[in-house]
Structure 1
Amino acid sequence: MNYKVFMLALAVLILGILFVYEKYENQQQSLEKASLKEEINIEGFGAKGNDDKDDSTAIQEAINYGVKHELGKVKVTGNQKFILQKGIILKQGIELELGKNTTLEVQGDFRVFEIMKNASITNGIIEVSDKNFSSEVLYFDGEQNFWSWETSSIEGMNIINTSDENTGTAIALVADHSNEFISFVDFSSIKIVGFRTGVFIKAETPTGKYNFVNGNRFINLTLDDCVECIVIESSKSIPNEVSGNQFTDFQIQLSDATEEVLKVSGSDNRFQGMIWDVESYASETKIVNFSAQSMRNSLISNVNETYIVDQGDNNSYYPQSTP
């Protein structure tokens, strides 16, 4: 091989190496951009776990940044505790992902998270430690018009009131004005401990056409040491209706604080699961109440009609009491 041919081959080889390297760099940059496109971390906005400083602003700024730049996920991770002293609006298009052992400690009395449609929370612990807390932890407002094509959901969370006061509401779904509705939102594998009300669902009488909270699913829900475990308030049907909601495979643990397990208005809601230690804590107390504004609701559990008040129409509950 002469010198010119050798130099030409060497030049081609070098160009090939440079081309491959540039392609690799571009791929790495694309991967980095894709990663940034998917998620952001609150630490970049000044949040530091395991200190006494309020992290609410940092979390809200991370959410706002995610919305502005079309980033899909905000992450709060690590075996750390972050402090919340102000309420947070979880805006459309944002998934808030917590580590399974990441805690958000609520200090004060305020609505903790207002959930907008196409927003979701996965994993983590929300701990209410303030004895004066009387608000909602997760609040869904019917003005958002949640529907089947939305991606709103709550999954894998522990919501715990450690104040020993049994105050506040863990999850609330409320349609309180005309043309509001909340439907087909999924709640799965959630534990709720120590609240006044575990799950509260309400469709208030509207001044105009209608409102409703229908067709939502609560799967693998655990309720422990709540005064009222599940409360549903509405009329039997329109104009204000709570209908077709499903509570499947729930586990409810009674305590000295428990007064009612189910308090139900509305129609065609389904409840299936276990209610623990009824004889120890309820004795002859009626812990299930189907109101005069209830119709065709059903309860399948270990609790018979001895513990049930039914003032409604065509409600059913199994097992029946034995003669």
Structure 2
Amino acid sequence: MKVKNVLIRYIAIIVINIAVVLYLMWNTDIWGSAHVEQKSLNQQGDTVEVEDFITSENGQTEDYSKAIQQAIDFCAVQKKEKVKLRANKVYTIKSGFTVKKGVELEFGTNSVLSVKGNYRVLTVEKDSVIRNGTIQIMDPVFQSEVIFLKGNDQYDASNKTRIEDMTIINKSKSNKGTGLSLYAKGKWHNISFVLFENISIAGFKTAIQLKTENPGAGTYSWINANHFGNMTIDDCVTGIQIIGSITIPNESSGNLFTGLQVQLTERSKQLLIADSSYNKFDGMVWDVQRVTGSGPIVLFSAKTENNKLDMNVAAKLISDKGQNNSY
């Protein structure tokens, strides 16, 4: 009888152990997610670190994109304030991510986002903030946008969207892609009153592009009243490009570019190409003589009026087909 009882207990223990192992195997993803969420919830304050969202499934240091997006999504849902990238660390990514409404992405001192591949890197939703970082494009196949804002979020005067103290550099030497891109096409799509401050953009086809398209059906889209302060543009084929019209239905007007510092090189072709009205550009241009050819470096199209250029550009280097533009 004792032998029989011992055998029954032994079999029961084996069955329970097998059941536990099978449960853990089947629920690996769920368990991992719950573990990450609890760890994050235990943090002090409203700051979350990307490292808290690295699991056995996404923990390869060759690609942090999934962990960064999970940290941002967690902040958005849990009403946390900030996702922090650690100082003096390189975060390699192989796919893009979105900075959600109300979330701040803050880079630590000397932290770097290293981009491999060709894709839109950062989509920025209304009321989000990006601050204090370096984004490096490492792959010569890259020809997309690094930081992208889309007008369907309708950035109105109450929005708190800010992008500040950033360095965006294409280290592949390909001079492809766009550093900073604003785009509006759709019923009442707009981007307005966003602050871009202390941003350096180097080595791209286009440093800054503002593009509006006619949404049709009697509706409008616009990119108006944004402030680009203390922007540095270096070694880009085109510095600033504004694509749109003088006025509705696709208008780009009243944008301020102040404190510009533009370094031209042998790869540069234009400082400014504009379809727009009432925009202001002030700052300094360096080494115009390095631009190959004798064509204009500032192009005001027939779809321009009342733009003001206050920069050290000779009149012979400006093509003006618009109305009442001043320089």
TM range (shorter): 0.7 to 0.9
1:141 aligns with one of 127, 150, 160:
150
Structure 1 position 205, deviation (Å): 1.3
Could you tell me how far apart the structure 2 residues matched to 1:257 and 1:70 are? Answer: 45
Could you tell me how far apart the structure 2 residues matched to 1:283 and 1:134 are? Answer: 25
Asked whether 1:299 is paired with 2:309, we answer yes
Asked whether 1:315 is paired with 2:289, we answer no
CA deviation string 1:40-95 (max 9, x = no partner): 11111128xxx851000000000011111110100002111001111101100100
Contact map agreement 1:41 1:62 (CA 8 A) in 2: yes
Could you tell me how far apart the structure 2 residues matched to 1:241 and 1:90 are? Answer: 26
The match for 1:237 is 247
The match for 1:6 is none
The match for 2:206 is 197
CA deviation string 1:80-131 (max 9, x = no partner): 1001111101100100000231100010100001100010100110000111
The match for 1:109 is 118
Could you tell me how far apart the structure 2 residues matched to 1:250 and 1:38 are? Answer: 35
Q: Secondary structure at the match of 1:267?
A: coil
Could you tell me how far apart the structure 1 residues matched to 2:43 and 2:307 are? Answer: 46
User: Where does structure 2 lack aligned partners over 5 or more consecutive residues?
Assistant: 1-40
Structure 1 position 206, deviation (Å): 1.6
CA deviation string 1:147-193 (max 9, x = no partner): 12111010000000000100000110000122100000000000000
Could you tell me how far apart the structure 1 residues matched to 2:67 and 2:310 are? Answer: 44
Write the mapping of 1:156-175 to structure 2, written as runs, cut at 5 A: 156-175=165-184
CA deviation string 1:261-298 (max 9, x = no partner): 10011100000000101123356330000000011001
Farther-moved stretch of structure 1 (274-283 vs 102-111): 274-283
Change in 2 beyond 3 A, CA 1:34/1:58: closer
Could you tell me how far apart the structure 2 residues matched to 1:199 and 1:42 are? Answer: 29
Structure 1 position 302, deviation (Å): 0.9
How many residues align? The count is 284
Normalising by structure 1, we get a TM-score of 0.85
RMSD between superposed Cα atoms in Å: 1.8
Q: Secondary structure at the match of 2:232?
A: strand
1:275 aligns with one of 285, 288, 296:
285
Asked whether 1:217 is paired with 2:227, we answer yes
Could you tell me how far apart the structure 2 residues matched to 1:202 and 1:170 are? Answer: 14
Asked whether 1:286 is paired with 2:296, we answer yes
Contact map agreement 2:195 2:227 (CA 8 A) in 1: yes
